[in-house]
């Protein structure tokens, strides 16, 4: 049997897509990186500052559902849709940095940033599928790694801004530049692949057909367990590190932002490694291993509050690597398990439900006392509940006969 040749130029196109995602995702956590400074200026609580990130999550959900319902990815060329989304995210982020004076003015702008990103992230996933037949797991892992780096970059900008004595607004505005660069990169370089297929519109009838399958339900439950932990970790680990390192005396506040960048950015390693291994090890094997490590790391990190810097950093970096490593595998599993023609609708609802769920844990941790060791232990133990549920779901999925459809029979 002759294997069909892979498209020429696919790795170059992957580099362009990854670069666009990395740059476009920078505004996502621009507010979280300077949350203590915003809270001090606006005299708001930690819970209220957490809403600045939740606003992005909700905007992303709305934008992603709008793209799915309208079939915009089939009407608008991918490069223009991605560029338009990145431009909206950049302008909304700039307006947040320049004009926001309280939560009432900030939240709509944060939601617009999320809506803009929703026209970049899912569309890039569709485009990469048109370029990769073999090696798609690695390609998607690289894209998720780019998203992870983009989400981490604001903490590096904050570290530099703190050293330079910059106002938080200037730090937020500095996140706009990379997003504008994503506009140019998308317009210049993004191209549909020769294997490109139409993007499936969201159909509630099709979604119900997919979600009626027990295996799809279990894959979704695994995804929700993963999302329960992921974005709350990314949102609050900088505050945890700042509080812990302040007590232990290991790193000054400026250095804490740099450490937060290292922890979140380390997830890119996990994304690429998991993408390369997923098709060889199997979906359930990889996701169970990743969630076991991330959940254990969450519990350990909470117990190590104010521990020596080297010890704490080792555990939290492992957490950063494993918390996002399995991200792409849940969606891939749904695409393999859903009845023909229903996967697109099922994935749209999966994404919406996952990002809505993140708001609960982000806000919930904001209710706790950031200076108390017991509060962090409790918070991170609660986050570990997500991986526990996810592990149970994926182990049950593994035992089902139709799990053979995943990863070429490797479950």
Q: Tell me: the pLDDT tens digits for 110-129?
A: 999 999 999 998 888 888 87
Distance between first and last Cα of the chain:
25
My answer on whether 207 and 156 are in the same domain is: no
Last residue within a domain, chosen from 190, 215, 245: 190
pLDDT at 4 over 70: no
Q: Please tell me which residue, 90 or 258, carries the higher pLDDT value.
A: 90
Q: Tell me: the pLDDT tens digits for 147-162?
A: 999 999 888 888 766 5
Separation in Å, CA 194 to CA 131, 160, 197: 7, 42, 9
The pTM assigned to this predicted structure is: 0.90
Q: Tell me: the pLDDT tens digits for 325-359?
A: 888 888 778 777 877 777 667 777 888 889 999 99
Q: Are 119 and 84 in contact (CB under 8 A)?
A: yes
3-state helix/strand/coil string of 342-375: CHHHHHHHHHHHHHHHHHHHHHHHHCCCCCCHHH
Q: Tell me: the pLDDT tens digits for 38-55?
A: 998 999 988 888 899 999
Q: Please tell me which residue, 238 or 129, carries the higher pLDDT value.
A: 238
Q: Given this model, what pLDDT does residue 33 score? A: 86
Last residue within a domain, chosen from 190, 220, 236: 190
My answer on whether 72 and 214 are in the same domain is: no
Q: Given this model, what pLDDT does residue 20 score? A: 96
Q: Given this model, what pLDDT does residue 2 score? A: 44
4 part of a folded domain: no
Last residue within a domain, chosen from 143, 166, 190: 190
My answer on whether 182 and 207 are in the same domain is: no
My answer on whether 221 and 255 are in the same domain is: yes
My answer on whether 296 and 388 are in the same domain is: yes
- Domain count for the chain, please give it: 2
Give CA–CA dist 394/287, Å, rounded.
8
My answer on whether 246 and 385 are in the same domain is: yes
Q: Tell me: the pLDDT tens digits for 277-297?
A: 877 888 889 899 999 999 999
Separation in Å, CA 172 to CA 110, 167, 334: 12, 9, 36
Residue 219's CATH number: 1.20.1250.20
DSSP 23-48: HHTGGGGHHHHTHHHHHHHHT--HHH
Q: Tell me: the pLDDT tens digits for 165-194?
A: 578 899 899 999 999 999 999 999 999 888
Rg of the chain over Cα atoms, rounded to whole angstroms, equals 20
Q: Are 192 and 78 in contact (CB under 8 A)?
A: yes
Q: Given this model, what pLDDT does residue 201 score? A: 66
My answer on whether 48 and 178 are in the same domain is: yes
Give CA–CA dist 54/32, Å, rounded.
10
């Amino acid at each position: 049997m002759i294997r069909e040749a892979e498209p020429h130029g696919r790795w170059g196109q992957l580099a362009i897509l990854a670069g666009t995602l990395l740059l476009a995702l920078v505004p996502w956590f621009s507010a979280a990186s300077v949350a203590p400074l915003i809270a001090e200026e606006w005299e708001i609580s930690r819970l209220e500052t957490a809403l600045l990130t939740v606003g992005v999550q909700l905007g992303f959900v709305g934008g992603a559902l709008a793209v799915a319902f309208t079939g915009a990815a089939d009407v608008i060329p991918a490069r223009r849709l991605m560029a338009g989304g990145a431009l909206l995210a950049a302008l909304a982020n700039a307006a947040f940095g320049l004009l926001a004076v309280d939560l009432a003015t900030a939240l709509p702008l944060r939601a617009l940033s999320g809506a803009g990103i929703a026209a970049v992230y899912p569309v890039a996933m569709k485009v990469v599928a048109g370029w990769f037949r073999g090696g798609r797991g690695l390609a998607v892992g690289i894209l998720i790694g780019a998203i992870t780096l983009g989400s981490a970059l604001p903490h590096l900008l904050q570290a530099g801004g703190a050293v330079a004595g910059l106002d938080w607004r200037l730090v937020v505005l500095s996140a706009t530049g990379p997003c504008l660069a994503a506009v140019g990169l998308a317009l210049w370089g993004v191209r549909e692949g020769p294997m490109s297929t139409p993007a499936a519109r969201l159909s509630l009838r099709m979604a119900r057909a997919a979600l009626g399958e027990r295996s799809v339900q279990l894959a979704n439950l695994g995804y929700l367990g993963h999302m329960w932990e992921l974005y709350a970790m990314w949102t609050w680990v900088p505050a945890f590190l700042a509080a812990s390192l302040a007590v232990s005396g290991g790193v000054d506040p400026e250095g804490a932002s740099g450490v937060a960048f290292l922890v979140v950015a380390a997830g890119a390693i996990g994304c690429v490694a998991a993408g390369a291994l997923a098709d060889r090890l199997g979906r359930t094997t990889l996701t169970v291993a990743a969630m076991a490590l991330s959940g254990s790391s969450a519990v350990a990190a909470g117990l190590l509050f104010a521990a020596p810097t080297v010890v704490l950093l080792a555990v939290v970096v492992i957490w950063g690597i494993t918390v996002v490593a399995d991200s792409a595998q849940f969606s891939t599993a749904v695409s393999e398990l859903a009845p023909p023609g229903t996967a697109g609708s099922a994935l749209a609802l999966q994404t919406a439900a996952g990002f809505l769920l993140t708001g609960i844990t982000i806000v919930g941790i904001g209710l706790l006392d950031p200076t108390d060791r017991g509060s962090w232990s409790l918070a991170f133990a609660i986050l570990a509940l997500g991986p526990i549920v996810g592990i149970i779901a994926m182990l049950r999925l593994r035992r089902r006969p139709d799990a053979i459809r995943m990863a070429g029979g490797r479950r």
